[in-house]
Structure 1
Amino acid sequence: MSLEMDAAPPSIRLVAAFVNSVEWQEDEDTWRSPADLGRWFVAHAQTDAGQLTADDLRLAQQIREGLREVLLAHAGHEPLAAALDGLNEGLRSVPVRLSFAPDGAPALTGMPGAAAGFGVIVQAIETARADGSWSRLKACARDTCRWAYWDDSRNGSARWCSMAGCGNYVKMRRRNSPGSARDEAIPAAGSGTRAPRLLDVAARSGVSMKTVSNVVTGRIRVAEATRIRVQAAIDELGYRPNQAARELRAERVS
């Protein structure tokens, strides 16, 4: 079984690159500024979206993290409803138009500006849906990873971005430390509503997990606008701050 992106169709590779523009395992986001997002569109979507704004960046992050929830659902896990709502809300604000090539092939394109870049992503999703490959793009079931990967297994049952990495790690944690490992994997669909975690708040508010921790603990002061945005995400998702405290203690011990 290969989970290598080289085996995936171009449309799938593009959407995966969009979702994987942040590596939550390292708490490292490629898009640190609107200019970073603009450069990403040029490099990956071959689209010059012009001069982007902070609102464009937040919209890109909102769409990205909503898509990650869709990919978790593809892998059989419970998505966060608020993130899916955010995805649909974000996409409604992206003006795209339907046009046809000389051979009659339809294409979705974004209007000038940020929508031009988002339009390329929307078209890639539609292409993958049409050719049947969309459901094979998934997100890793390890809670702190959630990396987008291509599942070309015969029965489409892969759950991890890497069986040798995340898969074995979770299995070893479950065997050696059942109590502390209960939150290592995202719950399967049908196992009840998934409780939001620190990563979910970071994803929803468009900041790093470290910043969310600083807001929750109050140990390090953050900009007021950032604090308000993080608190809004906490309230929207129903995140429990005492859960963050447990995670922080666990990180210090490990």
Structure 2
Amino acid sequence: MLLVRDFVNTVEWQEDADSWSGPEDLERWYSERADIAVMAQTEDDLAQARRLREGLRNVLLQHAGHEPVAGAATELNEALGRISLRFRVGDSGELTIGADDDLVDPLGYVLSAVDSCRVGGTWERLKVCARDSCRWAYWDESRNGAGRWCSMAWCGNYAKMRTRSGKPLAADELSPTRGEYRPARLLDVAAKAGVSMKTVSNVINATGNVAQATRLKVEDAIRELNYSPNPVARALRKGARQGD
């Protein structure tokens, strides 16, 4: 369970901080966190890991009763179809993934951990925070399984203080509940394109030095998600800059 949670939390969207800046970071994570010895990872491996990460995040959103990002299920199923997962029976009858001389897709180990959660009955307790800008994966320890926040000491208390101040979290600050309309956000474009939110912002505003290949990925994600920048938020940011 912890491996799956930590895999999803390798990016902290609230801080726009991704632990996997490049393939070497992914390789290091497999070695240090998952204890998996892997071949040198490539940019394609990194893109695949990010796709699985965000696909699982959307499943955990559903566990918490929230609406997933449009097309998330199709995206995840396509990613799953590219992952090789092979089991072997050892000399003592133990079930293992692959063998020492096999080149096993390390994402198969992550999926094996997901299946262990399912079999152990803990899968539905893995959720994503109700604060839409957070989306941090957490283990719901509440007695009735109705927890909403990754941490009461952080997002939960923040929401409570906002409510007490008379300015509760706005609808677009909370993950939409199942059946509600979910407009794509900057975060969703970044997650789909496999880049940072800053990079998406640079593409939208035609600022910064963005490689052409990256720009095309972001533009494709914008079209596929039908993303439309929030003009009110952009005006507020522009006004804040001018007032500095």
Q: What is the TM-score when the length of structure 2 is the normalising length?
A: 0.89
Contact 1:108–1:122 (CA<8 Å) still a contact in 2? no
Amino acid of the structure 1 residue aligned with 2:155? C
How far residue 108 of structure 1 moved from its aligned partner, in angstroms, is 4.5
Q: Are residues 1:156 and 2:145 paired? A: yes
Listed one character per residue, the Cα deviations across residues 160-179 of structure 1 (whole Å, up to 9, x for unaligned) are 0012311232344455335x
User: 2:92 and 2:148 mapped to 1: Cα distance?
Assistant: 39
User: 1:16 and 1:251 mapped to 2: Cα distance?
Assistant: 33
Q: Which residue of 2 aligns with 1:8?
A: none
User: 1:249 and 1:144 mapped to 2: Cα distance?
Assistant: 19
Contact 1:35–1:52 (CA<8 Å) still a contact in 2? yes
1:159-238 matches, cutoff 5 A? 159-173=148-162, 176-177=166-167, 181-190=170-179, 192-238=180-226
SS at match of 1:32: coil
SS at match of 2:173: coil
How far residue 96 of structure 1 moved from its aligned partner, in angstroms, is 1.3
Q: Which residue of 2 aligns with 1:112?
A: 103
Aligned-residue RMSD, C-alpha = 2.1
CA 1:207–1:246 in structure 2 vs 1: closer, same or farther (change >3 Å)? farther
Contact 1:83–1:204 (CA<8 Å) still a contact in 2? no
Contact 1:170–1:185 (CA<8 Å) still a contact in 2? no
Contact 1:109–1:119 (CA<8 Å) still a contact in 2? no
SS at match of 2:86: strand
Unpaired runs of 5+ residues, structure 2, are: none
Amino acid of the structure 1 residue aligned with 2:203? V
User: 1:172 and 1:104 mapped to 2: Cα distance?
Assistant: 55
Amino acid of the structure 2 residue aligned with 1:176? G
Listed one character per residue, the Cα deviations across residues 108-131 of structure 1 (whole Å, up to 9, x for unaligned) are 559616x1x101101100000001
CA 1:159–1:35 in structure 2 vs 1: closer, same or farther (change >3 Å)? same
Q: Which residue of 2 aligns with 1:58?
A: 47
Q: Which residue of 1 aligns with 2:69?
A: 80
SS at match of 2:138: strand
CA 1:105–1:246 in structure 2 vs 1: closer, same or farther (change >3 Å)? farther
Listed one character per residue, the Cα deviations across residues 134-183 of structure 1 (whole Å, up to 9, x for unaligned) are 110111111111111011111000010012311232344455335x7221
How far residue 97 of structure 1 moved from its aligned partner, in angstroms, is 1.2
User: 2:232 and 2:91 mapped to 1: Cα distance?
Assistant: 59
1:15-164 matches, cutoff 5 A? 15-102=4-91, 104-109=93-98, 112=103, 115=105, 117-164=106-153
Q: Which has the larger radius of gyration?
A: 2
SS at match of 2:110: helix
Unpaired runs of 5+ residues, structure 1, are: 1-11
User: 1:250 and 1:143 mapped to 2: Cα distance?
Assistant: 20
User: 1:251 and 1:103 mapped to 2: Cα distance?
Assistant: 63
SS at match of 1:46: coil
